[in-house]
Amino acid sequence: MSGEGKFFGIVAVAAVVIIGLIVIFSRGGEKVVDVSGGDAYKVGPDDAKVKIIAFEDFQCPACKAAEPAIRQMIKDYPTTVQFVFRHFPLPIHPNAEEAALAAEAAGVQGKFWEMKELIYDTQENWSTMSNPDNYFGDLAKQLGLDLDRFKDSYRSDSLKQKIKADLEAAGAAQVNQTPTFFVNGKKVTGAQSLDDWKKLIDEASSTPTE
């Protein structure tokens, strides 16, 4: 081999090595997406075999349709499943963020899950309102909450930031529709029937975790 040939051979090998190193380091530096939400509301034990992370939009009809099966699933698997709720209010739903704030404001007084149910149950009432603030205040009153405290929480920057953090986590996890669930890390989209949940939970329970 001529000197020129050896030179180009060395360059080619070096290029392959450099590309390989770039691939290795880029893989090693991949961001691990955590959708668990450290301060998200959850029901069920921390040592549950199956953890379900939900990204929902209170104004989404499909999320409302999914709600009855979710409620029953939580009752049916009180120790096997931990259900975690995270917000993903879509821009096409003008009152979705306000609904999320109402649920979070109720959560400040220990009534997140109760407000969540009321918001879904009355979706057809508030979803078409130009300003649902007073309506959510009425729901808070129905739950026996301190209304002044509820109103302060409802417009607090801290709760807005919490919802923003959920949106960012959803984006990082490539969530693009509601509802979206992560069942032990497996992404599942759309409303699930109770039978669907049973199959998903049985599968996740029998799959060894790494």
CATH number for position 197? 3.40.30.10
Instruction: Give the structural domain span for 17.
Output: 1-30
At position 157, the amino acid (one-letter code) is D
Give domain status of residue 19, yes or no: yes
89 membership: H or E segment, kind and range: none
How many angstroms from the chain centroid is the CA of residue 183? 11
pLDDT at residue 23, as a whole number: 31
Same domain, 59 and 100: yes
Same domain, 115 and 188: yes
Same domain, 101 and 197: yes
Find the angle CA(63)-CA(142)-CA(124) to the nearest 5 degrees: 35
pLDDT at residue 35, as a whole number: 72
Same domain, 63 and 156: yes
User: Across the strands, what pairs with 183?
Assistant: 52, 186
Same domain, 145 and 193: yes
Same domain, 108 and 176: yes
Same domain, 13 and 81: no
Give domain status of residue 94, yes or no: yes
> What does the alpha-carbon distance between residue 6 and residue 16 come to, in Å, rounded to a whole number?
15
Give domain status of residue 36, yes or no: no
Same domain, 160 and 66: yes
Give domain status of residue 35, yes or no: no
Q: Residue 164's CB: how many other CB atoms inside 10 A? A: 13
Same domain, 25 and 47: no
Give domain status of residue 87, yes or no: yes
Cis peptide bond prior to 91, omega within 30° of 0: no
Residues contacting residue 54 through CB under 8 Å, at least 6 positions apart: 70, 83, 84, 85, 86, 179, 180, 181
Same domain, 92 and 63: yes
Give domain status of residue 12, yes or no: yes
pLDDT at residue 34, as a whole number: 56
Number of domains in the chain: 2
Same domain, 2 and 70: no
Q: pTM (2 decimals)?
A: 0.82
Same domain, 68 and 142: yes
Cβ proximity of 100 and 89 under 8 Å: yes
**Residuewise pLDDT in 10s, the chain (210 residues):** 555 544 444 433 333 333 333 333 333 333 344 576 678 999 999 999 999 999 999 999 999 999 999 999 999 999 999 999 999 999 999 999 999 999 999 999 999 999 999 999 999 999 999 999 999 999 999 999 999 999 999 999 999 999 999 999 999 999 999 999 999 999 999 999 999 999 999 999 997 755
